[in-house]
Structure 1
Amino acid sequence: MKKIICLLMVLSMVLMLLAGCGQPEADLYVPEDLAESPLFLALVNGFNETQSRELVVESLPAAQLMDRLESGEFPSAFFLMTPEAEAALSTQEVTINEIFYDPVYIIGPREDRIGLSQLGEYSADQVLKHIILTKSPFVHAASLTNLRKKEVLFWEQNGITPDPALYLEADPAEDGILKTAADHNGYAVVERYVYERYKDQYPTLTLLQDQCQGLVDRFCMVVQGTDTDSLAVQFASWMMDTPGQDIIYFYGMEEYGVSRYLPSIH
């Protein structure tokens, strides 16, 4: 009887191992919101069409993915890079490839009374600080977007509390930031695609800064430094080559008239 029980236990363990083998290990880990992005899905599908084996992608909650990144318990990951993640990865043997980014502009009145267009060599936080200290109206997004969060962080880091009378919440429409800035002769940070789509409707506004260091969302692929030939590494190389960069460049072109994102390699 004992032999039969032992045999059954061994058989059960073997079956469990075989079942586990049926679930392929992920080649790439991504946060849940990115996994549902049409652009990311288009990149994965485009890459898979060139391969004999499909790239296996697993999505994780953003916090869990960051924990795994910081501990090094992952083969490869693709995500929106943050200063915290970059700092955590700086002590690890990894390769960080920037694939595409979400460009933003600083816009304002054409007369540019505070000389913002002359501050191109300054970081975004210093430019924003200049707007606030010159008592100029500044328009922020109606919702707590990543961009709005960065603005708030800049105020905190610089010990600045914007004057509520000059710190204006944008109209909630897609072109709301431009509309509110035009109505109040103010300044704002706005996504490139929004400005390019609606700029002709707001002739009193103009582009003042297009190199907004510290405000741009960067989407990066991270692989272990010793990894040189995995499918994830091939995916990163493909995205940085013409086929992947073309998908990125033309994404959103039909809807917005301009690229929704820009490829990091031009």
Structure 2
Amino acid sequence: MKPHIAWKQLFWLFAFLLVLSLFTTACRSQPQTLKLATTTSTYDSGLLDYLLPIFEEKYNAQVEVIAVGTGQALALGQTGEVDVVLVHARPLEEQFVAEGYGINRQDVMYNDFVLVGPPADPAGVADVNDVVAAFGRIAASEATFVSRGDNSGTHVKEMSIWEQVGIHPEGSWYLSVGQGMGATLTMADEKQAYTLADRGTYLKRQAEGLGLVILFEGDPLLHNPYGVIMVNPSRFPHVNGELADKFVMWLTSPEAQMAIDRYRVDGQQLFFSNLFAASEGK
């Protein structure tokens, strides 16, 4: 073999290996995409902006967030349009899993719902002892109430309370707007009306200048737990089940649970992790 031919072959071999190395590195650095359907409350509260970059950096991932009501989020899971859901309506979550659309549901965190309204409190709800009585006063006085009306976890909770009052709310005083939590709070503020809100979104909006105040809180009925569920990859083979599984494991890990507890708005904790609440006996 002539020397110049050998060197030429070595050159092309080196060039091939260099291109292969660059291609492999590029493939490894290309982030995977995770499609997450979640509630407007986790988005409007600012929690996701705080949490997701930690996951994305750890797993070289990019999370595409679709923030809608719980009912809509689960509907996206039922058609395989997302990989994982983070929602807050336990009966709907259990139905989603029972019907085979989701697997590996895990408790993540909780906060609570609060009844907010104008400082003048025209219905006098601040004077009652339970949330059912508070809703009853709003209905009896026909004070303006703004409902999300979107089959979200908040809306499901609201309707369960009206059911205990013994009425189906309707009339000019009851406004069903089909909007997320942030938009519903804005409308209630503009109309000096009552609404049911998750505490996290309310505190975030209050810090931004919302004029509504908490008029009733603390009833056990207002407990608001959140769960994460993988969309079933056996039913929808195209979903990113591997990354969804990593997300569920990470979200329930000590690292993520501590991050949830650390998140604050104006010094106030908005969500409480299930892991550390359980260890503290809460």
The interval holding the TM-score normalised by the smaller chain is 0.5 to 0.7
Q: Is the 8 A contact 2:38 2:65 kept in 1?
A: yes
Alignment TM-score, normalising by the size of structure 2? 0.50
Q: Give the corresponding residue for 1:119.
A: 130
Matched, 1:54 2:66: no
* SS of 1:162 mapped into structure 2: coil
CA pair 29-206 structure 1, distance change in 2 beyond 3 A: closer
After superposition, the C-alpha distances for 1:11-45 in whole angstroms (9 at most, x for unaligned) are xxxxxxxxxxx799x785423888x9574465344
Q: What is the CA distance between 1:257 and its match in structure 2? A: 4.2
Partner of 1:80: 87
Asked whether 1:99 is paired with 2:108, we answer: yes
Contact 1:141 1:148 in 2 (8 A): no
Question: Counterpart in 2 of 1:14?
Answer: none
Contact 2:77 2:85 in 1 (8 A): no
Decide whether aligned partners of structure 1 residues 143 and 242 sit closer, same or farther in structure 2, where only a CA change above 3 A counts.
same
Equivalent residue runs for 1:3-14 within 5 Å: none
1:43 and 2:68 correspond: no
Q: Unaligned regions of 5+ residues in structure 1, if any? A: 1-21, 121-125
Q: Separation in 2 of the partners of 1:149 and 1:180?
A: 19
Paired AA for residue 222 in structure 1: M
The residue aligned with 1:30 is: 36
Equivalent pair of 2:88/2:224 in contact (CA under 8 Å): no
- Deviation readout 1:203-241 (Å, 9 max, x if unpaired): 9955422457479473523376x9xxx664454333223
Over aligned residue pairs, what C-alpha RMSD do you find? 5.5
Structure 1: distance between partners of 2:123 and 2:134: 14
| Distance of aligned partners of 1:238 and 1:100 in 2 relative to their CA distance in 1, 3 Å threshold | same
For 1:246 and 1:169, the matched residues in 2 are separated by 37
- The gaps in structure 2 that reach 5 residues or longer are 1-26, 67-71, 178-182, 235-241, 278-282
Alpha-carbon distance change, 128 to 150 in structure 1, aligned in 2, over 3 angstroms: farther
- Per-residue deviation, residues 33-71 of structure 1 (Å, max 9, x unmatched): 88x957446534423555xx53575778954432239xx
Please give the TM-score of this superposition, normalised by the length of structure 1: 0.52
2:241 counterpart of 1:241: no
CA 41–206 in structure 1, closer or farther in 2 if over 3 Å, else same: closer
Amino acid at match of 1:94: I
Question: How many pairs does the alignment contain?
Answer: 221
Judged with a 3 Å threshold, the aligned counterparts in structure 2 of structure 1 residues 221 and 133 are, in CA distance, closer, same or farther, namely same
Of residues 119, 135, 142 in structure 1, which corresponds to 2:141?
135
Aligned residue for 2:69? Answer: none
Question: 1:142 deviation in Å?
Answer: 8.7
Change (3 A) 1:41 1:66: farther
Query: Is 93-102 or 57-66 further displaced after alignment?
Result: 57-66
Q: How does 1:172-191 map to 2 (within 5 A)?
A: 177=188, 181=192, 187-191=194-198
Deviation at 1:97, TM superposition (A): 0.9
Task: Determine the structure 2 residue equivalent to 1:160.
Answer: 168
**Aligned positions of 1:61-76 closer than 5 A:** 62=73, 63-68=75-80
Flag the 1:144–1:212 CA change in 2: closer, same or farther, 3 A: farther
Identify if the C-alpha distance between structure 1 residues 57 and 210 changes in structure 2 by more than 3 Å, giving closer, same or farther.
same
CA shift, 1:140, in A, is: 1.3
Q: 1:192 Cα shift?
A: 1.8
Aligned identity (percent) is: 13
- 2:60 is paired with a residue whose SS is coil
CA contact (8 A) 2:185 2:195 kept: no
